[in-house]
Amino acid sequence: MSEAIAFYVLSGLVLASAWSVVRNENLFHAGLSLILCFVGVAGIYVNLDAPFLGAMQVLIYAGAIAVLLLFGFMLTHDLMNAKQERNQHAAGIFAAVLMALVLIGTIAGAQWYGSSGQPVKFGVESLARRYMQQDLVSFEVVALLLLASLMGAVVIARKEEGSRD
Amino acid sequence: MPEWVQFSAGKHFQDLIAHLSGRSVPEILVMPIMLAVILGFICGSSLILIWAERKVAARIQNRVGPMMTGPRKLAEFSMWTGGLLQTAADAIKLLVKELIIPSKTDPVPFIAAPVLIVTVCVTAFVVIPFGPALSVSDLNIGVVHVVSISSLTVLSIVMAGWSSNSKYSLLGGLRSAAQMLSYEIPLIFALLGPILLAGGLSMQKMVLAQREYGCWFFLPSLLGFLIYYVASIAEVNRPPFDIPEAESELVAGYVSEYSGMMFAMFFLAEFANMFLVCSVAATVFLGGWLVPFMAVPEQMTPGYIALGTLVFFAKTSFLVFIMMWIRWTFPRVRPDHLMNLGWKYLFPLSLLNLLICAGVAVLKDVYKLNGWGVSLASLGALVFVLLLLQVVRVPRPTAFLEKV
């Protein structure tokens, strides 16, 4: 019962803040709403007995990525007066409808497996087994991709030779 | 393994009320009451810590510090007992001051920022084991919970910096975002060593693992302890890493436009965060509430709980004192030096610490080493690697860029 209440409250929070991300004219407020949305999603994870995933969501999305986003806003010139452009309605609606169709199609067509058993209790060992034995290849592929993007970012961001300012 | 140490403080509270009045407390009320207790605790501890900070600063600078507010008899006794009520008086002054919200600010984030920073702090304290069977809730993701919740502190500082609509605040917020994001990485990597040794994330398990090893984790993971300590000073924005609020150049950084109670909330959170990082260090690296040279009893005993709590507070206070000592004896670092230290030294060294801890954990399982063996092996490995780095010329990590 209390889990259902928590789910509806959190879902309302996530949807409202996501709406605010899209519709807010003030970029900084939109960024803050995005963080609220991330935290709401983390709450849903915790509600689903996945506390580690929830903590990681807060740590990586709300605590690092979204803050970097705000960091970028703060470096942007004259942000106080910046307003979001509103001339992309048609494209936005098209993308949203397309996304909704894909999601509804996937969810309706998927096979759902339910289980009445207790959720698996979280442990570092099960996490480690998952990453280092079962899903080792995909884990390494992701690591390699991240390394490549990191090096790419360094190459793009580094200063040209002899252009010290 | 004594199971009783993982009881939560909420359960003690329920038992106590049931014992006193014969009525049971509904489950849904326990957590709010416990959070209120934590809030009261951090308010009280901050009052003491601010007084202590002023006294330590005074002693280092050959002064006596605040002496006038408080019992006169005690002040005549020594400088360490004078001015005991000074911070309480300051807090009352801040409470009754007018709350000024400057007209050009962005009001919602401006008011939300101090609320958020205190909320984050209270939430992070939930898993701290103040003694055996004395954490509010011993979540099985304990350490990760503290780290992930504390990462939201930077959000509050960014909100304060931007919404104040002042150049000083904005610069302070920017610097703080860069600094806290950079130092979070060595901080988490330093904690990974003890997590590997303990094989779990829960704070009470961490303490029990140190009992099982027979040595506190600062010995097998010495490098990790030092890195954690340095990175946590940077995380709580204290000198020598206080460039986000550098008084000489930025007025007061992100708190420049705040006054009265909202300013006090930032101040409160700063001291509570200092206590938080020190209590995490005491739990993870210094054995938490483990009393030296004393076995943990198999059954719950009030005496051991009291003694353990005392030991925990002694360890934490010692670490807090070192932080104050560092604050009043080191000059502020320059921003570029700060970034160099974080990314080029602390981060690679924390990876080295992780490697050593992993090796030591394997050695312990294979050769059944005891605590001293584990510590010696890890310290030996550390010295060996550091000597090796002196002999072998390591190519600079950015060398590949020259050919691009």
H or E stretch including B128? none
Question: Would you call A82 an interface residue with chain B, using a CB distance cutoff of 8 Å?
Answer: no
User: In the numeric block, which tokens belong to residue B367?
Assistant: 């050769």
pLDDT of residue A79: 58
Phi, psi for residue B99 in degrees, rounded to 5: -85, 110
The Cα angle at residue B164 between residues B162 and B169, in degrees rounded to 5: 70
Whether the CB-CB separation of B269 and B261 falls below 8 Å is answered with: no
The Cα angle at residue A119 between residues A118 and A120, in degrees rounded to 5: 115
Per-residue pLDDT of chain B (404 residues; tens, 9 = 90+): 667 777 777 777 777 777 777 777 777 777 888 888 888 988 888 888 988 998 899 999 988 888 888 777 777 777 788 788 888 888 888 888 888 888 888 888 888 899 999 999 998 998 888 888 778 877 888 888 899 988 888 888 888 888 888 888 888 888 888 888 888 889 999 998 888 888 888 888 888 888 888 788 888 888 899 999 999 998 888 888 887 777 777 777 788 888 888 888 888 888 999 999 999 999 999 888 888 877 777 777 778 888 888 999 999 999 999 999 998 888 888 888 888 888 888 888 898 889 888 888 888 888 877 777 788 888 888 888 888 877 777 666 555 555 54
Residue B8: strand pairing partners: B135
Is residue A105 helix, strand or coil? helix
Over residues A131-156, mean pLDDT: 89
Q: Which residue has the tokens 């592929």?
A: A141
Q: How far is residue B156's CA from residue B236's CA, in Å, rounded to a whole number?
A: 13
Check B162 against A70: CB less than 8 A apart.
yes
Identify which of A43, A37, A84, A44 has the alpha carbon closest to the alpha carbon of residue A65.
A37
Residue of B nearest to A35 (CA): B155
Distance from CA of B262 to the nearest CA of A (A): 20
Distance from CA of B127 to the nearest CA of A (A): 13
pLDDT of residue A158: 76
Whether the CB-CB separation of A62 and A42 falls below 8 Å is answered with: yes
Contacts of A25 (CB under 8 A, 6+ apart): A83, A84
Burial of B139 (0-12, 13-18, 19+ CB in 10 A): buried
Q: How far is residue B153's CA from residue B272's CA, in Å, rounded to a whole number?
A: 12
Candidates A32, A38, A151: best to mutate against B (most CBs of B within 10 A) is: A32
Whether the CB-CB separation of B332 and B240 falls below 8 Å is answered with: yes
Domain spans of chain B, in order of start: 3-63+97-403
Question: For residue B243, how many C-alpha atoms fall within 13 Å in the half-sphere facing its CB?
Answer: 18
Q: How far is residue A15's CA from residue A5's CA, in Å, rounded to a whole number?
A: 15
Q: How far is residue B147's CA from residue B187's CA, in Å, rounded to a whole number?
A: 9
Nearest CB partner across the interface for A59, out of B147, B174, B199: B147
Distance from CA of A145 to the nearest CA of B (A): 18
Check B108 against A56: CB less than 8 A apart.
no
Q: How far is residue B106's CA from residue A28's CA, in Å, rounded to a whole number?
A: 10
Is residue B8 helix, strand or coil? strand
Whether the CB-CB separation of B316 and B308 falls below 8 Å is answered with: no
User: Which of chain B's residues have a Cβ under 8 Å away from the Cβ of A66?
Assistant: 155
Does the pLDDT of residue A160 top 70, yes or no? no
Q: How far is residue A30's CA from residue A45's CA, in Å, rounded to a whole number?
A: 23
pLDDT of residue A165: 46
Q: Which residue has the tokens 């204290």?
A: B238
Q: How many CB atoms lie within 10 A of CB B228?
A: 29
Q: How far is residue A74's CA from residue B167's CA, in Å, rounded to a whole number?
A: 11
Question: For residue B312, how many C-alpha atoms fall within 13 Å in the half-sphere facing its CB?
Answer: 26
Nearest CB partner across the interface for A55, out of B109, B141, B177: B141
ipTM: 0.78
Residues of B near A (CB-CB distance < 8 A)?
28, 106, 108-109, 139-141, 144-145, 147-149, 151-152, 154-155, 158-159, 161-163, 165, 170, 173-174, 177-178, 181, 184, 195, 199-201, 398, 401, 404
pLDDT of residue B320: 92
Q: How far is residue B377's CA from residue B388's CA, in Å, rounded to a whole number?
A: 16
Within B164-259, residue ranges assigned H as helices are 167-198, 203-213, 222-235, 247-250
The Cα angle at residue B314 between residues B313 and B318, in degrees rounded to 5: 115
Peptide bond into B240 cis (omega under 30): yes
Check B177 against A73: CB less than 8 A apart.
no
Q: Which residue has the tokens 């939109």?
A: A30
Nearest CB partner across the interface for A55, out of B144, B177, B195: B144
Whether the CB-CB separation of B188 and B232 falls below 8 Å is answered with: no
Amino acid at B92: I
H or E stretch including B164? none
Burial of B121 (0-12, 13-18, 19+ CB in 10 A): buried
Listed as own residue / partner, the contacts of B98-104 with beta carbons closer than 8 Å and 24 or more positions apart are B98/B259, B98/B260, B99/B259, B99/B260, B99/B261, B99/B262, B100/B259, B100/B260, B102/B164, B102/B165, B102/B166, B102/B257, B104/B165
**Cα of A123 vs its chain's centroid, Å:** 24
Q: Which letter does DSSP use for residue A58 in this model?
A: I
Is residue B215 helix, strand or coil? coil
Q: What is the pLDDT of residues A8-57, one digit of tens each?
A: 999 999 999 998 888 877 788 888 899 999 999 999 998 888 888 888 89
pLDDT of residue A84: 56
User: Which of chain B's residues have a Cβ under 8 Å away from the Cβ of A35?
Assistant: 155
Burial of B172 (0-12, 13-18, 19+ CB in 10 A): buried
Q: What is the pLDDT of residues A61-113, one digit of tens each?
A: 888 888 888 877 777 766 555 555 667 778 888 998 999 999 999 988 888 77
